[in-house]
Amino acid sequence: MATIEMQHIVKRYGDGFPAVNDVSIDVEDGEFLILVGPSGCGKSTLLRMIVGLEDITSGNMLIGGKRVNDLAPRDRKLAMVFQNYALYPHLTVYENIAFPLRLAGEKNDVVDQKVREASAVLELDEHLQRKPANLSGGQRQRVAMGRAIVRDADAFLFDEPLSNLDAKLRGQMRTEIARLQKRLGITTVYVTHDQTEAMTLGTRVAVLKRGVLQQLATPRELYDNPGNLFVAGFIGSPPMNFLPATVEGTTLKLPFGEVQLPADKAAKATGRGLLIAGVRPEHFADAAAPSARDVSDANTFDATVDVVEWLGNETYAYIPFEAPPEVQEHLAELERDLDGESLRTQLVITLDGSTQLSEGDTVKVWVNAEKIHLFDPGSGENLTVDLDHAGTIPAVEAARAAEEDQSA
Ligand code: ATP
């Protein structure tokens, strides 16, 4: 097992385009780190530079404290599991798992012991003599992982390993990978564009946008304290609501009405002109619902629901609103960055599944002012983020360093 340190890693392809731009991430020994972001954000390129399949333009890559920039992939003691598993169809499961050991010229008894240990962990014992074509997607996935396990690698690297599977199997395999990684305690870097995988598997999650690290934090920190609009919009489903807002004193003006903010939050945003307020769907409530008994009349507003989606355990209610063109422009740009995630000018609120609300009803909505985020529309920066609980936000860190330089 080993640590992986990425120090100011840059990758420029032939046309000069920076696919990975000054990314620094320390992966701790035994950690499960997720690289996540929309298509083209550079996550696969970064993974391929860890493994050695791609040259590093500048920066240092350290594995177990040793610089590996110039080491060939086979000398890095890493095991990579690809999206398409790359199993040999003519070989049995046993021989597929044994393949790296045969290649290394291991003796038969060593091969046998390692294959059987891996197959016991992966519950593949009864399939050892079968061919990959006769296995389910999940079983094939486990064979591919078996091949990684027998190599006694310092770290596992996964590149979207579940994206070929159907939704149900994906869920099962996700739990299986989590369980296995915990049992083996092996340092793991896992690339995905799926935020559910990111949130459920990762000890920490690195969110990338156009080659630049946006935030590195635990899933909970990302969810509760997104550093900017991009992270806020990327993590969470349904996504965070974004509304035009202004703050004067402690009063927050939203399209639906006024909300009183906690003083410390208001102080960070007052007098800054037009902002974007971010509120997660579950931080609204139906003020008349029994579950909202303790909700006071403050911070409530009346709204007409135009669509209701009942999912059994919860209900999504949609409420359209107007946004000025400049906010719409920022939201349209964010939509493009998020790879088409729809952020239309409508509020989505999550209500209890027992609600009897129907389309066209007017509902008294309460909003939890403690949970509102306020973003600068230009930079996207979260003005109200709790920096003690937000992990690493490189842009904020760079700004701080620049400030310190100036005052020095
Ligand atoms: P996806 O999920 O779609 O695979 P990704 O986040 O893994 O996306 P990368 O494959 O790392 O993204 O690509 C990052 C950027 O680098 C993209 O803009 C891509 O076009 C560019 N890129 C990748 N490989 C090459 C290459 N061989 N030559 C030139 N540009 C490349």
pLDDT tens-digit profile of 308-322?
999 999 999 999 988
Do 284 and 170 share a domain, yes or no? no
- Cα distance between residue 35 and residue 13, in whole Å: 20
Do 237 and 213 share a domain, yes or no? no
**Rg, Å, the chain Cα set:** 25
Answer yes or no: is 105 within a domain.
Answer: yes
User: Using CA of residue 362, residue 224, residue 157, residue 17, what is the dihedral sign?
Assistant: positive
Do 148 and 125 share a domain, yes or no? yes
Residue identified by tokens 């389309």 is 359
> Do 379 and 356 form a contact (C-beta atoms < 8 A)?
no
CATH number, domain containing residue 175:
3.40.50.300
Answer yes or no: is 407 within a domain.
Answer: no
Question: Residue 80's domain spans which residues?
Answer: 4-222
CATH number, domain containing residue 293:
2.40.50.140
Do 321 and 250 share a domain, yes or no? yes
Do 19 and 158 share a domain, yes or no? yes
Do 32 and 153 share a domain, yes or no? yes
pLDDT at 348: 93
The finding on whether 206 has its CB within 6 A of some atom of ligand 1 is no
Do 198 and 264 share a domain, yes or no? no
pLDDT at 121: 81
Do 237 and 97 share a domain, yes or no? no
Of 222, 251, 271, which closes a domain?
222
The finding on whether 88 has its CB within 6 A of some atom of ligand 1 is no
Do 197 and 242 share a domain, yes or no? no
pLDDT at 14: 86
Do 272 and 322 share a domain, yes or no? yes
Which atom of ligand 1 sits closest to the CA of residue 191?
Answer: 7
- Residue numbers of the chain with a pLDDT score lower than 50: none
Do 136 and 270 share a domain, yes or no? no
pLDDT at 148: 83
Residue identified by tokens 């920190």 is 221
Please tell me the pTM assigned to this model.
0.90
- Cα distance between residue 91 and residue 97, in whole Å: 9
CA 114–ligand 1 middle distance (angstroms): 36
Strand order in the sheet with 307-310: 307-310, 314-320, 346-352
- Cα distance between residue 344 and residue 321, in whole Å: 9
* Phi and psi, residue 204, nearest 5°: -135, 160
CA 192–ligand 1 middle distance (angstroms): 13
Overall domain count for the chain: 2
Query: Which two tokens mark 237?
Result: 């489903």
The finding on whether 42 has its CB within 6 A of some atom of ligand 1 is yes
pLDDT at 341: 63
pLDDT at 231: 96
Ligand 1: which of 45, 163, 209 to mutate, most ligand atoms within 8 Å of CB? 45
Which atom of ligand 1 sits closest to the CA of residue 44?
Answer: 7
How far lies 66's CA from each of 6, 70, 81, in Å? 11, 11, 23
Answer yes or no: is 398 within a domain.
Answer: no
pLDDT at 137: 76
pLDDT at 161: 82
Query: Which two tokens mark 360?
Result: 């066209």
